[in-house]
């Protein structure tokens, strides 16, 4: 039996597909949306559609951007010969927020996980190796200190070693299993400054 009209049910269903939104929250959000002024709902809907349509990978570092290059890759003031490898765009933002890193990034969009069946070909590793054919001084591996993050770091360092480019790993100021985005800036900076050459 349907408790609500078909359209409300559909809205609740769609909302409950979002991560972290259970049936109850979806219901609450649906009723909130219905009570919102129409133009506000239009703005919400179009900002979602436009973001989805226009956001793509930065041609250089693979982070998400609405232009060909992200602001960091576009900036002439950055050291384009130092590349920090991170798992997600959120990690990129976490380091950007410290305001103390002046190199560029490479976003892998994931980490190698044999258990989940995620191999090197499933993350943006090929793109990283392509970048290394240019003029690069150092690659700083800043993947998470989870099992997957460590596996990925090891894999990348083995891949880069033969090229002669310096490879370093951020220090273990980052707690084991810790997601970079949840760690405070001081810890992030300490991890970066105390990085170890691999
Ligand atoms: Zn970029």
pLDDT of the chain, 198 residues: tens digit per residue: 567 788 999 999 999 999 999 999 999 999 999 999 999 999 999 999 999 999 999 999 999 999 999 999 999 999 999 999 999 999 999 999 988 899 999 999 999 998 889 999 999 999 999 999 999 999 999 998 888 999 999 999 999 999 999 999 988 655 555 566 666 777 777 778 778 788
- Count CB neighbours of 92 within 10 A: 27
Overall fold of domain 6-54:
Helicase, Ruva Protein; domain 3 (1.10.8)
Output the CA 127–ligand 1 centroid distance in Å. 12
Pairing assessment for the beta strands 196-197 and 166-169 based on DSSP bridges: antiparallel
Output the CA 85–ligand 1 centroid distance in Å. 12
Q: Where are the alpha helices (DSSP H) in 81-146?
A: 89-98, 125-131
- Annotated domain spans of the chain: 6-54, 64-197
Burial class of residue 83, CB neighbours in 10 A (0-12, 13-18, 19+)? buried
Overall fold of domain 64-197:
Dna Topoisomerase Vi A Subunit; Chain: A, domain 2 (3.40.1360)
**Ramachandran category for residue 53: left, alpha or beta (phi over 0 → left; psi -120 to 50 → alpha):** alpha
Output the CA 68–ligand 1 centroid distance in Å. 8
Q: What's the whole-model pTM score?
A: 0.77
């Amino acid at each position: 039996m349907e408790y609500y009209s078909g359209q409300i049910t559909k809205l609740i269903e769609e909302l409950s597909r979002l991560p972290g939104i259970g049936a109850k929250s979806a219901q609450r959000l649906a009723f909130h949306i219905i009570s919102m002024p129409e133009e506000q709902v239009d703005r919400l809907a179009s900002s979602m559609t436009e973001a989805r349509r226009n956001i793509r990978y930065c041609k250089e570092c693979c982070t998400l951007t609405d232009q060909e290059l992200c602001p960091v890759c576009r900036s002439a003031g950055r050291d384009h010969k130092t590349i920090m490898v991170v798992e997600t765009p959120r990690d990129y933002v976490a380091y950007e927020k410290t305001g103390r890193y002046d190199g560029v990034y490479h976003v892998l969009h994931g980490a190698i996980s044999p258990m989940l069946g995620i191999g090197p070909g499933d993350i943006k590793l090929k793109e990283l190796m392509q970048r290394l054919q240019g003029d690069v001084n150092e690659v700083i591996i800043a993947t998470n200190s989870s099992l997957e993050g460590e596996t990925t770091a090891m894999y990348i360092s083995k891949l880069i070693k033969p090229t002669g480019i310096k490879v370093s790993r951020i220090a273990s100021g980052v707690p084991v299993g810790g997601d970079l985005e949840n760690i405070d800036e001081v810890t992030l900076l300490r991890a970066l400054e105390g990085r170890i050459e691999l």
